[in-house]
Chains A and B, each alone.
Chain A
């Protein structure tokens, strides 16, 4: 069992932070790596990239958005509760080198994944410009932490409720014109990573993206997470999750992410019904 020592609702009932006891993983984990979590005996295995690790306290931190039944079950776990299973660290760590000017682009909960990578890039002596994007102010997570480790921070929101109104690509385009990056790291929803890659491709700026395909084991034994990169089939769990954004087949990835959509929607609806029934029961008792 893997105990939750700290829980924060970064966005109430939607974006959740869990700091979890897992000493072996915390000792070995490097930026860019992920864990697989399973909350109950009957639950499924869900990959989440670590937002932080602390070898001293022996804890790892994940941040996730509630998008379906499993993340809804995760979000119901409180401080002191435990996940039945936590496996990691998995995947290849990010290649951290001093290259000069690194622009880190994060969207939504991708900002959590970007956090340890940006920190390591800064520590390696790079000048770090960070562009964060969210639909509105509430959803812009880790703004202070990212600001503290970046030389420059630019916040963008779809509705203009924080920072500037617009997309992360708008800000990136301006930077490319005035202060050309040596490396771009983009992590967020597939359409965002695709747009960033399309923007940097003609300029020949090396662009790393962190892919999030469906996974089962996370150790290379099933190929469920396969993606096409440079025309070749690669397993994101062992060859990735980071790849050259200019070589990734994003439409293939987007399609495969929809493989279980109908079943997921059904499972979530059934889960919600059960939760509401339970709530009604509790209210009646009260």
Chain B
């Protein structure tokens, strides 16, 4: 340990499936650390007195403490240290953008490579699931208060977990037939195995959270009815589930999907598994429009569904691409091509209404726009057409108005997102909190969890002391 303080060693890479093998299966790409690897990586941590990494974590996991436990082989204790702040470590260790959060702040990163905090978090969660004794965090005595949590994605799961531990009765309402939100329908199996999400959700159930699937709040029951039914508080975490389309000709041809639909069919409905009944248009020549993580997930799913060629079409350059560098790199390794500075103008189809080709324009980058990124400008006379029988539109999503339009007392901003106090998550409707993508617009899993944490603290305060 003394040695490592002077000469920072490189981080221990996580073994992963070779690109040529994994592009044909839906198994997880990174294989996880062995106990030896985890202990060796944990030994690199300098155990800073004022750890910067914790500041970089939106839910302030006590990182040096759990890493010390790993280094010393006290795995069961390590996971319990994480649980103090984070109920979904197997998920966060896999999908957080650590490079701009905890690992981005690690002092080792200044001269060399930061500690692989995400890999270690994931290791502990996986170790507990496979070897743990199943003991759960301790619960406070019952307060007799009841809270309805609407939406079972990352923010809702966090609120439910926090409040049940504080002794409140919690019901989690989910519109789909399975809980997990984007963790179940959006993020593919090869990045986040669904069995792991189910295991983390089942911990909540064991703690006493009641999960009501198939319940569309805004249709089957309204927020004000939940309050009238006897819930003392309501948390709204319904995400950003309204797909954006390009509004170009031919977008309704058979073979053009929103990424939401494509991924829901593939992940939630398991269209890739012949035992399941939900179909998916198989593509030979696939075009995915967009440059975020959802675009990468769609492209890599299409490859695994048997596509011969998969192209990402993005209107800016690689530098402006919002996807994590690691995701783009994984996609490229597997054979996804990047057509940068390109933008679809129209889709064309055959007499049956099936997609056959896409025509794009070439772009160049102009002055920075409001987002600070250089604005793409079309290049005249440089249009080109490609064969394409499956197109997936992954250009972002907005706020789904289904719940909010049924409850006028909840104030929205002009984009349709709920206005909530950034410090507490309180909305304009008494007894109602909101957090996650329905407030911020599409963001990350861990930011939604951070918002859930703040709201849970505020709800607890309200239940014990008043509004």
Contacts and interface: CB of A to CB of B under 8 A. Distances in A.
Contacts of A90: 216, 219
Contact of A84 (B177, B220, B264): B177
A45 B281 CA distance: 17
A24 B215 contact: yes
B278 interface: yes
A44 B219 contact: no
A28 B265 CA distance: 28
Interface residues of A, number: 39
B288 to A, nearest CB: 16
B213 A85 contact: yes
Interface stretch (A9-17, A115-123, A177-185, A259-267): A259-267
Interface in B144-185: 175-177
B221 A28 contact: yes
B252 A85 contact: no
A281 interface: no
B177 A255 contact: no
Max chain A Cβ within 10 angstroms of own Cβ: one of B216, B241, B260, B281: B216
A24 B222 CA distance: 11
A221 B242 contact: yes
Contacts of A25: 220
Contacts of B247: 233
A219 B242 CA distance: 9
Contacts of A104: none
A212 interface: no
Given A24-B221, A222-B258, A222-B261, A233 B251 contact: yes
Contacts of B215: 24, 87
A223 interface: yes
B402 A220 contact: yes
Contacts of A87: 175, 177, 214-216
A171 interface: no
B207 interface: no
Interface string A87-102: 1111000000000000
B277 A70 contact: yes
A238 B352 CA distance: 27
B467 interface: no
**What's the dominant secondary structure at chain B's contact region?**
loop
B265 A216 contact: yes
B353 interface: yes
A258 B243 CA distance: 23
B254 interface: yes
A233 to B, nearest CB: 7
B243 A223 contact: yes
Max chain A Cβ within 10 angstroms of own Cβ: one of B260, B264, B277, B402: B277
B220 A221 contact: no
A264 B279 contact: yes
A38 B277 CA distance: 10
B127 interface: no
Max chain A Cβ within 10 angstroms of own Cβ: one of B175, B219, B242, B251: B219
A111 B159 CA distance: 45
Contacts of B176: 217
A217 B264 contact: yes
Interface in B331-385: 352-353
B279 A258 contact: no
A228 B251 CA distance: 11
B260 A221 contact: yes
Given A216-B265, A217-B264, A255-B352, A24 B220 contact: yes
A43 interface: yes
A42 interface: yes
Interface in A194-246: 216-217, 219-224, 226-228, 233, 238
Interface of A: 24-25, 28, 38, 42-45, 69-70, 84-90, 216-217, 219-224, 226-228, 233, 238, 252, 255-256, 258-260, 263-264, 267
27 contacts: A24-B221, A28-B221, A44-B279, A84-B177, A85-B213, A87-B175, A87-B214, A87-B216, A89-B220, A216-B261, A216-B264, A220-B242, A221-B264, A222-B258, A223-B243, A223-B245, A224-B257, A224-B261, A226-B252, A233-B251, A255-B254, A256-B252, A258-B254, A258-B352, A260-B279, A260-B281, A267-B277
For the complex of A and B, 9 pairs with smallest distance between CB atoms:
A255-B353, A222-B261, A221-B241, A85-B177, A263-B279, A44-B278, A44-B277, A259-B254, A260-B279
Given A87-B177, A219-B241, A260-B279, 8 more contacts: A43-B276, A90-B219, A217-B176, A223-B261, A224-B261, A233-B247, A233-B251, A258-B353
